[in-house]
Chain A
Amino acid sequence: VREKRLTLPPSEITML
């Protein structure tokens, strides 16, 4: 599970 999480990309940040 940990390895899979590390492969996910970071997210962009949106100002609302």
Chain B
Amino acid sequence: STLVRVPKSASTLGIAIEGGANTRQPLPRIVTIQRGGSAHNCGQLKVGQIILEVNGVSLRGREHRDAARLIAEAFKTKERDHVDFLVTEFNVAL
């Protein structure tokens, strides 16, 4: 797995995720990266990667909306000027 630090360089994070606990995709997977968003500007996140942790918090066992809320709050908080993602290319979740 890889730790990716995404600076908040744009007003949006700019990723779409699918998956979460109790779905076919138990950990959130990146399905889109929007051009011009912070994630795209960072250049290190890729479509297909699985998000294991956000700012050190595990997404394991979290349902989709809970995982999405955690990521949204990590981007919104003014406590940090970046969001740390622990990602993997592999579907390790089960």
Contact = CB atoms under 8 A, between A and B. Distances in A.
Given A16-B68, A16-B71, A10 B13 contact: no
B31 A13 contact: yes
Interface string B2-30: 00000000001111111110111100000
Instruction: Kindly state the interface size class of chain B when it binds its partner.
Output: 20 to 34
Contacts of A10: 18, 23-25
A7 B1 CA distance: 28
Contacts of B25: 10-11
Contacts of A5: 24, 94
Nearest to A8: B24
A12 B13 CA distance: 18
A16 B17 contact: yes
A16 B18 contact: no
Contacts of B22: 8-9
B72 interface: yes
Interface of A: 1, 5, 8-16
9 contacts: A9-B23, A10-B24, A10-B25, A11-B20, A11-B23, A11-B64, A12-B18, A13-B18, A14-B68
